[in-house]
Amino acid sequence: MNQSVKTKDLMLSGLLLAMGILLPMFFHSVGMMGKIFLPMHIPILIGGFILSPYLAVFLGMITPLVSGGLTGMPVMFPMAVIMAFELGTYGLMVSLAVRKMKLSVIPSLIIAMLSGRVVGGVIVFILVQFFGLKMNPILFIKGAIVTGLPGIGIQLVMIPSIIYGLKGITKGKWIEG
């Protein structure tokens, strides 16, 4: 029984990883910008609801790196590195908010989005200090929020619908206690 749960979780992780690579490719192919609509964030945030915290953080960290390596989107340095920490934080925080804090979908998403952007800003600060990156951490956070407002809106509407739909289909058995 325990092995089948792990296999299922690994399969879900692989599916979400594939979505995290394919969604941005689709958005770019039809002329929609990833910085505005944030398509890679969607599978990571969904993963936070349906995966353990360990798998959710791993999914968030690996997706931009694999996508950057395979497609060149995002550019590996600095964006894929920054996004690895930002999206890893999204997955972790959603998973913990649902499992440990017992929060509902919208508050979990908001906590994850805010904390992920702050972690992204911290990573920018570290890259500025150690690699001489020409970015301002505060402007990075502000820009991520302002530029990404359409994507944030889409996420706050679409993800709860998907999660509630999944919960109805599976009778809520996919959320670990």
Residue-range domain boundaries for the chain: 37-170
* pLDDT tops 80 at residue 150: yes
Give the pTM.
Answer: 0.92
Other residues' Cβ atoms within 10 Å of the Cβ of residue 138: 11
pLDDT digits (tens, 9 = 90+) for 90-149: 999 999 999 999 999 999 999 999 999 999 999 999 999 999 999 999 999 999 999 999
**Comparing C-alpha atoms, which of 61, 106, 98 is closest to residue 83?**
61
Distances (CA, A) of 37 to 55, 130, 150, 160: 24, 30, 6, 17
Amino acid at 151: G
**Comparing C-alpha atoms, which of 160, 176, 166 is closest to residue 45?**
160
pLDDT digits (tens, 9 = 90+) for 78-105: 999 999 999 999 999 999 999 999 999 9
Domain 37-170 belongs in CATH node 1.10.1760? yes
Q: How far is CA 35 from the centre of its chain?
A: 13
